[in-house]
Chain A
Amino acid sequence: MATVDLSQFHQTFFEESHEGLDAMEAALLALDSGSTDHELVHTIFRAAHSIKGGAATFGFADMAAFTHVAESLLEEVRSERRAVDAGLIDLLLRSLDCLRGMLDRTSRGQPAADAGSEALRAELAQLVAGAPAPAAVQASAAPATGWAIRFVALPHLLQTGNDPLRVFNELQTLGRLEVLRAFVTESAPADFAALDPGQCHLGWELRLHGAVARADLDAVFDWLDGDCELAIAPLAAAATEAVVATPVPVAAATPAAETPAPAREATVASGAGHTDGGSIRVGIDKVDALIDMMGELVITQSMLSDIGEHFDLSQLERLREGLAQLERNTRELQDSVMRIRMLPIGSVFNRFPRLVRDLERKLGKQVRLELHGEHTELDKTVLEKIGDPMVHLVRNAIDHGLEMPEQRRAAGKSETGTLTLDAHHEGSNIIVRISDDGAGLSHERIRAKAVERGLVSATQPLSDDEVAELIFQPGFSTAAQATDLSGRGVGMDVVRRNVRDLGGSVGVKSVAGQGSVFTIALPLTLAIIDGLVTTVGAERYIVPLISIVESLRLPADAVRRTAGGGEVFRFRDEYLPVIRLHHAFGCADAVTAIERGIVVVVEDGGQRVGLLVDELVGQQQAVIKSLEKHYQQVQGVSGATIVSDGSVALIVDVGGVVRLGRRGKAA
């Protein structure tokens, strides 16, 4: 038989295992919050079971051994021989973290087990061995002189690739196997003709004679879990002896007996070394939509080539129609392709229940987490990068925003604070809101801090919004006294920078005593923007459509010079600075007189400026090429693209230009 290179499936195994762990975590947290749904226990068990199966298949013995013990513990919970309590959930959560670490190490080709995982495994094993359980389980710790096994296949057993023949073969290697009885089960059809040879309808009563450790026996049947009904009991005579006699430390006995009490700090940090550039799972409906679109494109193409073959001017109208259809098809195809990269934000949200739980314990606060809009879809790249800033904001909200229960009570609020994560679409943006009903930003403290850091002068008048903006300034650390949560070298300025790198913005609104709302706005995708093509001298610049408020031609006297040398103009009851793009980017031969050019009013993060360009060319979708990758980072430019005539146009980074403008105003 040909051997299969299993390593090609490793990546899938890692991904599925991570998903399984996520599902386990969610279920554990649901149990933790008091749910009694038995299905949750099954979910946890199933996840552990498939990780074990996969690990064993691929020869990751450490991981298989670890999950095996965890699974044994879960089996006791599943069969209601062990009650679920906070301690158990805590242990299982730590095991989960440990498994994540093992997965990451394995995916990097390092040994999966370390001191932490070994200690935790021992802790689990000890719990399993020391379980207050019926005699059968207690006896299982010691090797018996034999086992009575009742093994009834479920109909689908053969479909899983399992074969009782192999199982029996393996049992034979452990001890002397005796088939007491083989029988046909109830599930077999009465009519031979109606039999599906792929379904299994057999059962056996077996005796396995010899000093076989229960663990070895379990290892044989591991594969069949869920595919058969299995009852294993020590042979009668041996059983009583095993329970009554003082336990003899035999080498084959369960490892828990000799293992010392495990260290508490067994948890292993995970998530640090996620492998990038992975694969993406796509719903079949999205692929079908693509194929549909492709079909239409082919029809259009053949129609056009038909026109092209015998073209005369009378067909001009048809040609136009065909081209319009081609454009429509292309756009739809583009949309469908982009949709493939879209994933629900729920995968990021899912990590928060755990984080909130841990922080609650650590800080002694009570937090209710509400999640809304988990199904909102986001570009995969954006999704991967938005996690860290969000974690930071959530930590901050709980650490600094929400008050201690007694403070909340004193303020007439419920002792449990509410933290809400919400995601939804707004135009071509995704809006993610992180809101808490805590104390709100302390303007006095922020101000004092900013003055201390020299960010503002003590006398400068500041509006509430301007004070709130200060926390995003580099060098402003929010933590009055550094807890171990904050002070990780990541300030709000880093959050803002990370979000900006994604082409998004982050802002805060806060009401003293009622809480704060952090709002992150993100573009749907990083790869394509709708832009307005403009000319400046001989160059072309593309201004992202989403940031454009209005374009207008100003008379020469509408622009006034300010004391600092800047220019402003009146736009809807406010004065906006003018940024001459030819000046900012150093373009020669550009229009310099305001009245001959066009002013494009753009907005970024609530700030508006007018950009002076020569002319507007038209609207175009631009596929963004990174300048950084091909050349170097240029301030005020977010990337480049190729326009319809084949020349290169630069895409204006509105945020960067607005910052340039404000700096100009301040100067």
Chain B
Amino acid sequence: MAGKRAAKRDGEQAAGEAVVLPPDCRMATLAALHTELVAALPGGAVELDGSQVERVDTAALQLLVLLRRALDGRGGTLAWRGSSAALNDAAGLLGLAKILELPAARPA
């Protein structure tokens, strides 16, 4: 499975607009993000920008994990344009950093 994922990452260059995760990336704001991600899903390659994330909760990380799963299911790819320390810490604590393949925290 990991091999398959890696293979997909190789062909991810065709990304269009990145979906920007809001600074307050928590349950209350997720409906909008969810809509955006659903819209981006048919393209097959989703690029996320997590560099602005200051606050994040389990619900947000779960949304990303399930996005990853949906993309895997249809042979799509997930790429990151940037991540933040808050996002990386939370994902690390919940043991989700690997699944999400988060890059090191740095401004985009």
Q: Which residues of A contact B (CB under 8 A)?
A: 158, 163-165, 168-169, 172, 177, 179-182, 184, 188, 191-193, 195, 197-198, 200-202, 204
The answer to whether B41 and A193 touch across the interface, beta carbons within 8 angstroms, is yes
CB contacts (< 8 Å) of B31 on chain A: these are: 197
**Contact among B27, B90, B95, B99 for A198, CB-based, below 8 A:** B27
Q: How far is the CA of A204 from the CA of B61 in the complex (A)?
A: 14
The answer to whether A182 and B96 touch across the interface, beta carbons within 8 angstroms, is yes
Besides A168-B93, A197-B59, A200-B58, 9 new A-B residue pairs in contact (Cβ under 8 A), listed by A number:
A158-B27, A158-B58, A177-B93, A179-B95, A182-B95, A182-B99, A191-B70, A198-B30, A204-B94
CB contacts (< 8 Å) of B95 on chain A: these are: 179-182, 204
Given A165-B93, A197-B31, A204-B95, answer yes or no on A184-B66 (Cβ-Cβ < 8 Å): yes
Given A158-B27, A164-B94, A197-B30, answer yes or no on A202-B58 (Cβ-Cβ < 8 Å): yes
Of A168, A180, A192, A198, most B-chain CB atoms within 10 Å: A192
The answer to whether B58 and A164 touch across the interface, beta carbons within 8 angstroms, is yes
The answer to whether B37 and A192 touch across the interface, beta carbons within 8 angstroms, is yes
Main secondary structure of the interface of A (DSSP, over half): mixed
The answer to whether B93 and A192 touch across the interface, beta carbons within 8 angstroms, is no
- 5 residue pairs of the A-B complex, CB under 8 angstroms, read A164-B58, A168-B93, A188-B66, A191-B70, A195-B66
Q: Within residues 23 to 41 of chain B, which ones have a CB less than 8 A from any CB in chain A? A: 27, 30-31, 33-34, 37-38, 41
The answer to whether B37 and A182 touch across the interface, beta carbons within 8 angstroms, is no
CB closest residue in chain A, given B63 = A197
- How near does chain B come to A165, taking the closest CB pair, in angstroms? 5
Q: How far is the CA of A195 from the CA of B67 in the complex (A)?
A: 10
CB contacts (< 8 Å) of B41 on chain A: these are: 192-193
CB contacts (< 8 Å) of A177 on chain B: these are: 93
CB contacts (< 8 Å) of A200 on chain B: these are: 58-59, 62
CB contacts (< 8 Å) of B8 on chain A: these are: none
Q: How far is the CA of A184 from the CA of B73 in the complex (A)?
A: 14
Q: How far is the CA of A257 from the CA of B29 in the complex (A)?
A: 50
CB closest residue in chain A, given B92 = A179
**Contact among B27, B57, B67, B94 for A192, CB-based, below 8 A:** B67
Q: How far is the CA of A179 from the CA of B58 in the complex (A)?
A: 15
CB contacts (< 8 Å) of A181 on chain B: these are: 95
Q: How far is the CA of A359 from the CA of B33 in the complex (A)?
A: 64
- How near does chain B come to A541, taking the closest CB pair, in angstroms? 65
CB contacts (< 8 Å) of A193 on chain B: these are: 38, 41
Quick check: is B65 within 8 A (CB to CB) of the other chain? Answer: yes
The answer to whether A182 and B27 touch across the interface, beta carbons within 8 angstroms, is no
The answer to whether A201 and B27 touch across the interface, beta carbons within 8 angstroms, is no
Q: How far is the CA of A158 from the CA of B41 in the complex (A)?
A: 25
Q: Within residues 63 to 108 of chain B, which ones have a CB less than 8 A from any CB in chain A? A: 63, 65-67, 69-70, 90, 93-96, 99
CB contacts (< 8 Å) of B30 on chain A: these are: 197-198
Q: How far is the CA of A165 from the CA of B87 in the complex (A)?
A: 12
The answer to whether A184 and B65 touch across the interface, beta carbons within 8 angstroms, is yes
CB contacts (< 8 Å) of A201 on chain B: these are: 62, 66
